[in-house]
Structure 1
Amino acid sequence: MKILIVTLSGYWNYGNRLQNLALKKILEKKFSARVESVKTWQSDAMIWKPKTIRDWASKIKNGQLMEITAMKNRVGNFIAFSTNQLSETTDIVDLKDSLGLLQNYDYVVVGSDQVWNTNWLTMDQFKFFLLDSVDDDKKVAYAASFGIDNIKEGYTQIFKEALKNFKAISVREDRGRELINSMANMEVPVVLDPTMLLSRKEWFEIIDDVTIGTINESYVFEYFLGKKTANVRKKTKAMRRKIGKTIEFHNSKGKSRKNFHYGPLEFVKAISNAELVITDSYHAAVFSLIFGVPVIISERNDGNGKMNSRIDTLFKSAGIEKVSLEEFEDLKQVEYMKDFDIDKQMVESRKMSEAFLDEAFLNN
């Protein structure tokens, strides 16, 4: 069996690379399949590079050359990870799949991650992630995510029609199931993000040889994709004073720049060894739970609308209470998370998620 994973493929986001890796490993293990991952227009190895002389001049004027170098190094490490771990396609598949590359597989699975987030997808990109060019009997959606509470106006009818042509569909969040039900009158299951299908032991084995420098003290791991509000900065500063060192993985400025270049497996390693995680990222929260590291969740502040549904579903499926940074007062509020055993808690959810995969790929 030959399977292609179609998902977000940018060389800068930890979550999309790690869920891609997890899904690949699960499909290989369950079906002894040959699994490859698609390269799309997002697979831009030169994203770090200013496009014009004017852009270069602006960066130089604003003292941003070190940030450019940091981004170049980060992209390089992501490309190395993708090459070594994800079996990426040699060619980039364009929006219309003009070369017919997607037809060379027995199945094409779209997901996980926010492949159906209409806030940042053009209409043609949206159709691509609905596998518009793929034969109906090959289309599978696993843990596909909207990442938002409502689909953008103008996309509903296209989405409704496209869903009818999938062999099997599952989503990652409760809100995604509600959206599909309301738009297409279809009932679809909510399954686990691929990263949660692998056990804590399996993730420790994956990162066993990974190093992130010498750290001999307790630290807070911070990972923010949105902007920090004044209140967030105040509270994260207070956590630093209580615990000690802070490690940031998404800041190309100042002292934190030294960590910006790290690849996806270093991201996992840093979370696994942290004393506390503070984040607005879904996958940073996922790996905190996987390793039993206390995590505090901050509301994402990036202008792309509310993205709470996926994190709310995550904590609901884990059976534990989400602790928000906005309401956080004392470390005692999150200490119980150290005793959280994801492998015991997720037994039934994993069975249900794997049953979906069995039905999608084995039932013809």
Structure 2
Amino acid sequence: MNIKTITCHEVYNHGASLQEHALLKHLEILGHSTEAIHYKPPYLSKHLDLWKISNVKYEKNIIVKWIYILAKLPTRLRDLKRKKAFDNFSKKHIKTGEKLYISNDELKANPPLADTYICGSDQIWNSYFQNGKDPAFYLDFVPDEKLKISYAASFAIDAIEDNLKPFVKEKISRLNHVSVRETSGLRILKELGVNNATQVLDPVFLLDKEYWKENFVTPINDKYILIYDFDSNPLIKNMALKLAKENGLKIFTVNKNIKYANSNFWLKGPEYFLSLLANAQLVISNSFHAVAFSLIFNKQFYVVNREEKINTRMRDLLALLDISNILVDESNFNNASLKPIKSYSSINKNLATSINSSKTFLSKSLN
């Protein structure tokens, strides 16, 4: 079967790249011909842009605009190494259509040909961002007679705004088979009258630990705590410094904004991220995919909430596996140890059950 997928594409984020690869690879293992749609609307196309103006106040005066750009240019030129690393990963591991689409209207006018279309995974339905309001991520461009599936689509928030509910209900009602990544997503859909949805795991779980290790992980001969922190969270910093000192460990990070780490790997691509995570003594993060791969690799890890309203992703996954105790806040971080998870036996058993049901949903939907 010829299958086209659509997700947040080439956004230079480790989790986004790895989940896109995982879904394509799993479908390929099932025997299908798969390809990601090369969809990059303007709001998803400004990552690592040399000429980007982050604040509209700098655009009002041409002189101020160029002073701003020139001040940012040295850092942005350096950051192009990160873009190159991610582009190399995409070239090797994410098969993509040659035609570039920048809007749902373009997709509707000339849709990529396929037997089946799958939207997901990642935060494609998160209306906190523009992608959750984009009809393309609900397969609006796909003809009625074609098979349309959502796989592990994420709202990433607890509720959507009232003014968006008719739009979301209308678009999702066109899908033949609906699955979401979080229990909160099921609740949102039920409130909209969509009662036939299934909860499944993120695509990275469709490929086992051996696959990820054999294809992407290389040894790192260091003892360290890995930090993946989008918010420069002081709680994460305090935990990392405390546990690193108590256990004689270094601190590594993949975040540009973390200044207290011994080594920063911001410029590295997804392969090195997986190596860093697989070899870490402890992972402290507010990243969903850092949590996902910590589970896949059976790592010791802690989770801290994000400042943005997108914490349901991690909270629901921890609850599903009955390990909500590793969600840390100000009240319990002083009790943190290097090994918060005493055994992975029951976790792996629960994961295996959810992985099997996720694969079953996808196979049945395709058949």
TM-score range, shorter chain: 0.7 to 0.9
Once the two structures are TM-superposed, the CA of residue 236 in structure 1 deviates from its matched residue by 2.4
1:262 is matched with which residue? 268
Aligned-partner Cα distance in 2 for 1:283–1:71: 22
Q: Pick from 118, 134, 152 the counterpart of residue 127 of structure 2.
A: 118
1:281 is matched with which residue? 287
1:97–1:36 Cα change, 3 Å: farther
Q: Pick from 64, 82, 95 the counterpart of residue 90 of structure 2.
A: 82
Once the two structures are TM-superposed, the CA of residue 38 in structure 1 deviates from its matched residue by 1.9
Q: Do structure 1's residue 71 and structure 2's residue 79 form an aligned pair?
A: yes
| Stretches of 4+ aligned residues off by more than 6 angstroms | none
Aligned-partner Cα distance in 2 for 1:350–1:102: 32
RMSD value, Cα: 2.5
Helix, strand or coil at the partner of 1:297: strand
Aligned-partner Cα distance in 1 for 2:302–2:176: 38
Aligned-partner Cα distance in 1 for 2:67–2:104: 36
Once the two structures are TM-superposed, the CA of residue 17 in structure 1 deviates from its matched residue by 0.7
Helix, strand or coil at the partner of 1:19: helix
1:50 is matched with which residue? 51
1:105 is matched with which residue? 114
Q: Superposition pairs for residues 299-318 of structure 1, below 5 Å?
A: 299-301=305-307, 304-305=308-309, 307-318=310-321
Aligned-partner Cα distance in 2 for 1:217–1:223: 17
Identity of aligned residues (%): 26
Q: What residue identity is the alignment partner of 1:33?
A: H
Aligned-partner Cα distance in 1 for 2:4–2:114: 6
Helix, strand or coil at the partner of 2:106: coil
Q: Superposition pairs for residues 324-335 of structure 1, below 5 Å?
A: 324-326=327-329, 327-332=332-337, 334-335=339-340
Q: What residue identity is the alignment partner of 1:312?
A: R
1:56–1:249 Cα change, 3 Å: farther
1:166–1:39 Cα change, 3 Å: same
TM-score by length of 2: 0.87
The 8 Å contact of residues 89 and 270 in structure 2, kept in 1 or not, is answered as yes
Give the gaps of 5 or more residues in structure 1.
none
1:311–1:133 Cα change, 3 Å: same
Aligned-partner Cα distance in 2 for 1:70–1:295: 31
The 8 Å contact of residues 102 and 134 in structure 1, kept in 2 or not, is answered as yes
2:201 is matched with which residue? 192
Q: Do structure 1's residue 134 and structure 2's residue 142 form an aligned pair?
A: yes
Q: What residue identity is the alignment partner of 2:316?
A: T
Q: Do structure 1's residue 249 and structure 2's residue 254 form an aligned pair?
A: yes
Once the two structures are TM-superposed, the CA of residue 67 in structure 1 deviates from its matched residue by 2.8
Aligned-partner Cα distance in 2 for 1:153–1:71: 39
Aligned-partner Cα distance in 2 for 1:226–1:254: 12
Q: What residue identity is the alignment partner of 1:34?
A: S
Q: What residue identity is the alignment partner of 1:186?
A: N
1:37 is matched with which residue? 36
Aligned-partner Cα distance in 2 for 1:344–1:159: 35
Alignment length (residue pairs): 350
Once the two structures are TM-superposed, the CA of residue 320 in structure 1 deviates from its matched residue by 2.8
Once the two structures are TM-superposed, the CA of residue 20 in structure 1 deviates from its matched residue by 0.7
Q: Superposition pairs for residues 151-166 of structure 1, below 5 Å?
A: 151-166=160-175
Q: What residue identity is the alignment partner of 1:311?
A: M
2:243 is matched with which residue? 239
1:360 is matched with which residue? 365
Aligned-partner Cα distance in 2 for 1:102–1:70: 37
Aligned-partner Cα distance in 2 for 1:337–1:73: 39
The 8 Å contact of residues 37 and 112 in structure 2, kept in 1 or not, is answered as no
Q: What residue identity is the alignment partner of 1:294?
A: Q
The 8 Å contact of residues 243 and 338 in structure 2, kept in 1 or not, is answered as no
Structure 1 stretch displaced more, 40-49 or 153-162:
40-49
The 8 Å contact of residues 199 and 343 in structure 1, kept in 2 or not, is answered as no
Structure 1 stretch displaced more, 185-194 or 287-296:
185-194
Once the two structures are TM-superposed, the CA of residue 216 in structure 1 deviates from its matched residue by 3.1
TM-score by length of 1: 0.87
Q: Deviations over 1:249-297 (max 9, x none)?
A: 0115758685111111111111000000010010001111111111111
